[in-house]
């Protein structure tokens, strides 16, 4: 399971905010009383400098409270941005090649498909629904971590994938041959083919491994209400809805909108030369 940064942020914001409130309503009163007591009983006969230094020390906040008050607004802003606006995400596998490469850092629009509460994911405001062809980040039904694939089927759609051909509601999805390519896999480079595919209004690239046959006996799916059928653009090198089923609407994270940085695995410097919008 991946580290839940949303839970960590919420916990830190709650902790810092609680300390701030605790200090404001309880601890601070003790400091004010100590200052008043010092002025009444000890300030007389002392130099202005001594009194000023003593009052400064008495008014000093505990270090943990000082840090909490400093970090709270910063953490709150980060939580709001990450939970409701934009969240960064790194591409961990090659299932979305050629659209997205391993090492791409992307931005995910968190409000494109509705505003959700952090951690629990409950939608509190509708904005829009996923459309065929869009690239979406979500949590799959079999594993509690972020995945990224392309939306292929909407609720109620019938999907068929057979002999490297995709059909939605009985109609073949349009694709055009681009060129022969070499496809990187875990067992080395294999000969493949690059196509341009159009789903809805979105044109994008997909790739096949020429020698790869069908590893799956099932070829037809009906997408349940409130669910989406997801596939990777590297069609023969992607574990997706063909394997683990459809994605519930409640597990949507957001819409992938742009690559903002790329870093090759290992000791390599990041580059911004591959920045682009995601289609």
Give the separation between CA 150 and CA 153, rounded to whole angstroms.
9
Among residues 95, 234, 238, 241, the one annotated as catalytic is: 95
Give the separation between CA 15 and CA 144, rounded to whole angstroms.
25
Strand-pair partners of 261? 105
Contacting residues for 96 by C-beta, under 8 A, at least 6 apart: 135, 148, 149, 150, 232, 233, 234, 238
Give the separation between CA 2 and CA 144, rounded to whole angstroms.
7
| Cβ atoms 110, 93 nearer than 8 A | no
**Any catalytic annotation for residue 95?**
yes
188-199 and 202-209: which strand pairing? antiparallel
Buried b (16+ CB within 10 A) or exposed e, 207-236: bbbeeeeeeeeeeebebeeebbbbbbbbbb
Residue 132's nearest CA partner among 193, 174, 84 is: 174
Among residues 6, 83, 110, 149, the one annotated as catalytic is: 149
**Any catalytic annotation for residue 149?**
yes
Residues known to be catalytic:
95, 149
């Amino acid at each position: 399971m991946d580290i839940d940064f949303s839970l960590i942020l919420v916990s830190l914001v709650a902790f810092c905010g609680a300390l701030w409130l605790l200090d404001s309503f309880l601890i601070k009163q003790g400091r004010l009383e100590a200052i008043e007591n010092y002025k009444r009983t000890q300030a007389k006969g002392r130099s202005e400098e001594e009194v000023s230094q003593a009052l400064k020390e008495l008014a000093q906040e505990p270090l943990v409270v000082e840090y909490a008050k400093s970090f709270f607004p910063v953490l709150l802003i980060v939580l709001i941005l990450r939970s409701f606006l934009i969240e960064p995400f790194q591409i961990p596998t090659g299932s979305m090649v050629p659209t997205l490469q391993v090492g791409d850092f992307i931005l995910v629009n968190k409000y494109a498909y509705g505003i959700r509460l952090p951690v629990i994911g409950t939608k509190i405001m509708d904005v829009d629904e996923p459309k065929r062809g869009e690239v979406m980040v979500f949590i799959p039904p079999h594993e509690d971590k972020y995945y990224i694939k392309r939306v292929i089927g909407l609720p109620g759609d019938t999907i068929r994938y057979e002999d490297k051909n995709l059909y939605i509601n009985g109609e073949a999805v349009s694709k055009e041959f681009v060129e022969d390519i070499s496809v990187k896999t875990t067992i080395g480079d294999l000969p493949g083919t690059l196509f341009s595919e159009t789903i809805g209004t979105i044109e994008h690239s997909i790739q096949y491994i020429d020698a790869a046959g069908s590893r799956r006996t099932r070829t037809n799916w009906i997408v349940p209400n409130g669910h989406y059928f997801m596939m990777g653009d590297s069609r023969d090198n992607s574990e997706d809805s063909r394997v683990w089923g459809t994605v519930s609407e409640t597990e949507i994270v957001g819409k992938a909108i742009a690559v903002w940085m790329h870093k090759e695995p290992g000791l390599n410097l990041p580059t911004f030369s591959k920045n682009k919008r995601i289609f």
